[in-house]
Amino acid sequence: MTATASATTWRNRIVGHADVPPGDLVPNPRNWRSHPQEQQRALSGALAEVGWVAEVLVNQTTVNVVDGHLRIELALARGKREYDRREEIAKRDADRQIQRAVRGRPSSVR
């Protein structure tokens, strides 16, 4: 590796993923950032349209949320107390049906 490449390398500090109910996540008490009402409405609209696609980051040492405070607040405000896998399962099933349909068709490229 060259000196330039080694100077720009970084260590991935993401050590795992987990499905955790929003109510179990602990907001960082030192989080000084707040979102204006307009930004809160925009995020709420995006979540309603696109869904919950971005993960919340949690520091495993302190167990405090690092990123995603507003998403947690919105989830709790919408009554999401547990991790809901229904959308994930529905998407997986739809993807499987598509794959079955594609495999069942004769290939047009020969």
Residue of 21, 79, 74 lying closest to 50 (CA atoms): 74
Buried b (16+ CB within 10 A) or exposed e, 73-107: bbbeeeeeeeeeeeeeeeeeeeeeeeeeeeeeeee
Could you give the 3-state DSSP secondary structure of residue 50?
helix
DSSP bridge pairs for 65: 58
pLDDT value for 38: 92
Q: Are 33 and 22 in contact (CB under 8 A)?
A: no
pLDDT of residue 2: 55
Query: Could you read off the pLDDT of 51-85 as tens digits, one per residue?
Result: 777 788 888 888 889 888 888 888 888 887 666 66
Q: What is the pTM of this model?
A: 0.56
pLDDT at 25: 84
Task: Write the pLDDT tens digit of every residue in 15-57.
Answer: 887 878 888 888 888 888 888 899 989 988 888 887 777 788 8
pLDDT at position 6 is: 59
Q: What is the pLDDT of residue 110?
A: 46
